[in-house]
Structure 1
Amino acid sequence: MIRSTIAGLSLLALGAGAAAAEGDVARGEYLVRGPAGCGNCHTPFGEAGFDMSKELGGRLVEDNPMFTAYAPNITPAGEVADWTDAELARAIREGILPDGSVIGPPMPIAMYRGLGDDDLASIVAFLRTLPAVVNEVPDSVYNIPLPPAYGPPVESITPPARGVTADYGQYLATAVSHCMECHSPMSDKGPMTDPEHLGQGGFEIHGPWGSVTAPNLTSSEDGLAGYSDEDLKKMITTGTRPDGSAMMPPMPYGYFAHMTEGDLDAIVLYLRSLPPLPDA
């Protein structure tokens, strides 16, 4: 039984000493089904792609020598049902489960630590409104050491003001869409998002589509230098290159297609600001 019932709005204590943030269900829906693309990992596949009758019901996400990762069922019928809103928020933003254990990759905790209080509360509020999906998902198995935590407790985050700016684009591309995790090289200690590797590409991702290596997103010649802004926006939202060829999963094109024009423009501004790095 859900201990914290949502009916339109939710109050969520985000951290010790932080002011309560008010969750906006509509904003949460936009983020989850748009730029955050949560269903890209948490929604099971059917014969024709994502099985939206089991939206966010959990599935196998990645199986490699380092780990076998299952995204859990995050509907009201999943393990989150008995968590408080604060516990769910902490799991999303800090990767700490109610029992104190740590969520492992590929959940982008290093990026989600930058989620703003209001956006985090809105995501939680929306998740509580989802239809309950009954779907048992195994526990993930990690053959690499996980950290005791991804950093100190997050007290409160105020993101940049919404608008067509590189700063807001950076917020969307990191804390919300976590583009920079997949598009940076991966080591046995996690994504290499330091300035010498950020956006360099090279992370190999496996799935029903086979093996895909995330490309370079920096302004180098082997990155985005040869693409116009319109090219980039079309690629992000439709998975179609300028020559008409189709790009591969797991880039969540269908989710990104729901982004507002302003949010897309902000992300492109941010990507153009990345210093050039050669492919990893």
Structure 2
Amino acid sequence: MDSNRLRSTLARPIALFASWLIGASAYAGDVERGRYLVEALTACDNCHTPRGVSGYDLANRFSGGAQTFSDKTYIVRGSNISPDRETGVGGWTDEELRAAIVDGVSREGRLAPVMPSDSYKPLTASDLDAIIAFLRSARPIRAPLQTPQRRNGEWAPHPMPGAATAFDDASLADKNTRGLYVASLARCMSCHAEEIDGAPDYRDRLGSGGKIFRNAAGVVVASNITSHAVKGVGAWSDDELKRAITEGVSRDGAPLRPPMSTLSKAHFSKLSRDDLDALIAWIRTIPPKE
């Protein structure tokens, strides 16, 4: 064998190995980005992971939640989104998972509106793929769909203003755009906007609070986070806002009540500094409302 042919023969497996390393590295990066998105922002565990005494039961992560969600047209529990092929989403294609996440449509049809697909619509293509990569990296857990499950009726999505379609990666370089992106994925305004007929009123009551929660802490009303100096958070410092978001502590040092305190500790505490700064900057742009 001549020397040129020998070099070519040896180079081929080396090139293939290098290509595999690059691919594996890119996939690992996708998984870690997906982990961040799920754990800091989209909070998939909140509905799709069972809870123990000390919080999420991560040994059974994504196998389905125990909480029941109900309204006039549905009674559902968070489904198994682990990669189990029989009872989870292991047999779903990436396209089917994308449709469920951002369009609220599963293999069996329309998901219940408690699935916050309208908040996930701005996901960039790369971030959506990263979430799917992370879900596929989880341990498959056999856990059949829990009852009750009932879905019927029609509903329309209610995306946040300016966040009705996918963003591109380049647009996130703008701080306010990034803040809107973070706020939508974290579903800030699904709590901090008054509701009309079960849907947030983004047009007139964006950020004004008023949504009522009934939980173990009693009756909790979401607060006003507009820039109003008295009724809202206009007089709060950036550090005070950051503490409320990531630690669940109010301006006066009092602990916030669930669901904000729960989300703060389990998810928003993991926000990156840049995402947190962008979110604060965007919150500052919300016009004052009483």
Q: TM-score range by the shorter chain?
A: 0.7 to 0.9
Specify which structure has the higher proportion of helix.
2
Within 5 Å, which residues of 2 pair with 1:106-121? 106-121=114-129
TM-score (norm 1): 0.80
Q: Deviations over 1:191-228 (max 9, x none)?
A: 2222x121221222344444432222211221212321
Offset at residue 42 of structure 1 (A): 2.0
Within 5 Å, which residues of 2 pair with 1:23-42? 24-42=30-48
- Work out the CA distance in 1 between the residues paired with 2:157 and 2:238: 38
For 2:276, the equivalent position in structure 1 comes to 264
Alpha carbons of 1:187 and 1:138: their partners in 2 closer, same or farther (altered >3 Å)? farther
- Work out the CA distance in 2 between the residues paired with 1:205 and 1:142: 22
SS at 1:234 equivalent: helix
- Work out the CA distance in 2 between the residues paired with 1:106 and 1:192: 16
Q: Is the 8 A contact 1:23 1:123 kept in 2?
A: no
For 1:167, the equivalent position in structure 2 comes to 177
Offset at residue 156 of structure 1 (A): 5.6
User: Aligned AA for 1:255?
Assistant: H
Q: Is the 8 A contact 2:207 2:224 kept in 1?
A: yes
- Runs of 4+ residues deviating >6 angstroms: 148-151
For 1:88, the equivalent position in structure 2 comes to 97
- Work out the CA distance in 2 between the residues paired with 1:47 and 1:222: 36
Alpha carbons of 1:111 and 1:121: their partners in 2 closer, same or farther (altered >3 Å)? same
Give the RMSD, CA atoms, in angstroms. 2.8
SS at 2:75 equivalent: strand
Alpha carbons of 1:215 and 1:64: their partners in 2 closer, same or farther (altered >3 Å)? farther
Q: Are 2:80 and 1:70 aligned?
A: no
Alpha carbons of 1:223 and 1:141: their partners in 2 closer, same or farther (altered >3 Å)? farther
Match of 1:44 among 44, 50, 64: 50
- Work out the CA distance in 1 between the residues paired with 2:232 and 2:123: 27
For 2:240, the equivalent position in structure 1 comes to 231
- Work out the CA distance in 1 between the residues paired with 2:202 and 2:143: 34
- Work out the CA distance in 2 between the residues paired with 1:139 and 1:65: 13
Q: Is the 8 A contact 1:160 1:171 kept in 2?
A: no
Q: Deviations over 1:3-59 (max 9, x none)?
A: xxx97767xxxxxxxxxxx98111111111112222122222212222222222222
- Work out the CA distance in 1 between the residues paired with 2:222 and 2:122: 22
User: Aligned AA for 1:91?
Assistant: A
Tell which has more relative contact order, 1 or 2 (C-alpha 8 A, sep 6+).
1
Alpha carbons of 1:120 and 1:113: their partners in 2 closer, same or farther (altered >3 Å)? same
Q: Is the 8 A contact 2:122 2:165 kept in 1?
A: no
For 1:273, the equivalent position in structure 2 comes to 285
For 1:127, the equivalent position in structure 2 comes to 135
SS at 2:62 equivalent: coil
User: Aligned AA for 2:168?
Assistant: T
- Work out the CA distance in 1 between the residues paired with 2:249 and 2:158: 35
For 1:138, the equivalent position in structure 2 comes to 147
Q: Is the 8 A contact 1:43 1:58 kept in 2?
A: yes
User: Aligned AA for 1:120?
Assistant: L
Alpha carbons of 1:68 and 1:191: their partners in 2 closer, same or farther (altered >3 Å)? farther
Q: Deviations over 1:144-192 (max 9, x none)?
A: x3337779xx986425544471111011101x21211222122325222
- Work out the CA distance in 2 between the residues paired with 1:85 and 1:190: 29
Q: Which runs of 5+ in 1 are unaligned?
A: 1-5, 11-21
